[in-house]
Amino acid sequence: MELWILFGSFTVLLLIGMPVAFCLGISSLSTVLYMGLPPVIVFQQINSGMNAFSMMAIPFFIFAGDLMIRGGIAERLINFAASMVGHVRGGLGQVNVVTCTLFGGISGSAVADASAVGGIMIPQMKARGYDADYAVNVTANAAIIALLIPPSHNMIIYSLSAGGNLSIADLFTAGIVPGLMLCGALMIAAYVVAVRRGYPAGVFPGMPTVLRTLAIATPGILLIGIIFGGIRSGWFTATESSCIALIYSLLVAAFVYRELGWRDFLEATQGAVRTTAMVLLVIGAAGAFGWLMAFLQVPQTTVAAMKTVSDDPYTVLLMINAILLVLGTFMDMAPMIIICTPIFLPVVTAFGVDPIHFGVILILNAGIGLNTPPVGSVQFVACAVGKISIGESMKTIWPFYGASVAVLLLVTYVPAFSLWLPSVFK
């Protein structure tokens, strides 16, 4: 009965349009009241859910990403990518994918990627005769790479949802190879579509130009090294490195590129509060919900239920992938990670799947969900930038879905893609 109240009220509240943070809090509170436990537990758990030092990395990274966009760091990365791959057939599509990867290496946000890279690339592509749907679909799908390449604050959300014991450095490292695989797969898809549609090839600007754009983009690229090197070597914690990334991008934007004014800074600060306080509140409220799930032995029950269905880890992973893909079509990324992790992680670990590996699977799944209607925030942003409807984008998005799902299956069934690189650093 307690479980029915917990999950039933959560589902009903979610369906009537209640914000996720309050769905979690109110369903936990009702369950505790029903069980006759002291209600104070709920608020104690919410409070401790908000008290993890690694959570702070989330506003810092988001804030830093916004400063990089406003301060011209994103634009210079695009110029560098354009000089490298712009001459390939359908070159701007290739530029788009490479830039999303580079920019993902500093922002970690797929929506920021889609709006920053898309905002510059999509109009350019349209002006040079590429179809809008192609420009939009390349951007939207390539933006997902940002979620896998460090620093990915979604990996931090996953680590927190898993109880905070998973190494963020390992999670960051585990995402690199799958991120590059997705980059490669999307470049191939973009190339094939470009050849079919007869898009032109650009002209190679020559090595001097490549080197010059590289030099100008260096501060941005250096940041990738600082963040990753700092965390991996154990010099800084993830939170400290996010703070350094924030101060570094502030300094570069304000004093090196001189594109960031006081007004931009204030707007970025407000934006960071508005975007991240909501997510952190969901994480906090999930503290109470997760405590109840553990108290009511939900993970054990789910594991037992899954074992009656199948004994084979591959079948279970396939099922979980299917469930996650469906959930991803209508759930936002952060709530999905926060709610699904405590339910599915015990299941997959019971079947011998490494938690780090599962993190990559979960995030890639949720990432693909950002490009699927009805709730696909990345697709939504890219379509808005490209001025086409979601329906128009859906007609020709399939080669890109194909590439993403192929990478998802490879990542799911070959654990080494995720686990090899972290093992190298151990």
Partner 1 sequence: MQALAQSLARFLAPISRISLWIAASGLIVMTVMVAWQVFARKVLNDSPSWTEPGALLLMSWFILLGGAVGVRDGEHMGFEIGLHYAPAPLRFAMKLTTHVLIVLFGLYMTVYGWQLTEKTWGAKMAGISIPQGMDYLPLVVGGVLIALFAFENLVNQLARGADTVVNAPGAPASAAVE
**C-alpha 200, offset from chain centre:** 32
Contact with partner 1 (CB under 8 A): which of 213, 239, 404, 412? 239
> How does DSSP assign 56-89, residue by residue?
GHHHHHHHHHHHHHHTTHHHHHHHHHHHHHTTSB
- Nearer residue to partner 1 within complex by CB, 176 or 378: 378
C-alpha closest to that of 77 among 37, 56, 107: 107
Piece of 73-81, 170-178, 195-203, 327-335 that binds partner 1 (CB under 8 A): 327-335
Q: Is 419 among the residues that bind partner 1 (CB under 8 A)?
A: no
By CB under 8 A, the count of residues binding partner 1 is: 75
- Nearer residue to partner 1 within complex by CB, 6 or 381: 381
Contact with partner 1 (CB under 8 A): which of 62, 136, 286, 411? 62
Q: Minimal distance in Å, beta carbon 24 to partner 1?
A: 10
Q: Residue 278, exposed/middle/buried by CB under 10 A (0-12, 13-18, 19+)? A: middle
Q: Binding string, 164-203, against partner 1, x = CB under 8 A?
A: ----------------------------------------
Q: Is 325 among the residues that bind partner 1 (CB under 8 A)?
A: no
Strand intervals (E) in 100-166? none
CA distances from 232 to 146, 174, 177, 354, 358 (A): 18, 12, 15, 20, 20
Is the distance from CB of 66 to CB of 171 less than 8 angstroms? no
Residues 63-122 that bind partner 1 (CB under 8 A): 63, 66, 109-112
Residues 144-163 that bind partner 1 (CB under 8 A): 147, 153-154
- Nearer residue to partner 1 within complex by CB, 133 or 332: 332
Q: Is 279 among the residues that bind partner 1 (CB under 8 A)?
A: yes
- Nearer residue to partner 1 within complex by CB, 264 or 354: 264
Tally of CB atoms within 10 A around 414: 13
Q: Is 270 among the residues that bind partner 1 (CB under 8 A)?
A: yes
Q: Give the Cα separation of 352 and 247 in Å (integer).
A: 41
Q: Minimal distance in Å, beta carbon 263 to partner 1?
A: 14
Q: Minimal distance in Å, beta carbon 340 to partner 1?
A: 15
Q: Is 3 among the residues that bind partner 1 (CB under 8 A)?
A: no
- Nearer residue to partner 1 within complex by CB, 180 or 375: 375
Piece of 61-69, 304-312, 398-406, 408-416 that binds partner 1 (CB under 8 A): 61-69
Is the distance from CB of 327 to CB of 357 less than 8 angstroms? no
Q: Minimal distance in Å, beta carbon 65 to partner 1?
A: 8
3-state secondary structure 193-260: HHHHHCCCECCCCCHHHHHHHHHHHHHHHHHHHHHHHHHHCCCCCHHHHHHHHHHHHHHHHHHHCCCC
Q: Minimal distance in Å, beta carbon 42 to partner 1?
A: 7
Q: Give the Cα separation of 150 and 319 in Å (integer).
A: 28
Q: Is 271 among the residues that bind partner 1 (CB under 8 A)?
A: yes
Q: Minimal distance in Å, beta carbon 325 to partner 1?
A: 16
Piece of 86-94, 168-176, 233-241, 339-347 that binds partner 1 (CB under 8 A): 233-241
Contact with partner 1 (CB under 8 A): which of 18, 35, 294, 406? 18
C-alpha closest to that of 89 among 191, 204, 189, 184: 191
The type of residue at 409 is L
Q: What is the dihedral of CA 346, 347, 352, 354, to 10 degrees?
A: -50
Residues 248-267 that bind partner 1 (CB under 8 A): none
Q: Minimal distance in Å, beta carbon 426 to partner 1?
A: 24
Residue 330, both tokens: 């209508």
Residue 394, both tokens: 């859906």
Q: Is 292 among the residues that bind partner 1 (CB under 8 A)?
A: no
Residues 345-384 that bind partner 1 (CB under 8 A): 370, 374-375, 377-378, 380-381
Q: Give the Cα separation of 277 and 47 in Å (integer).
A: 14
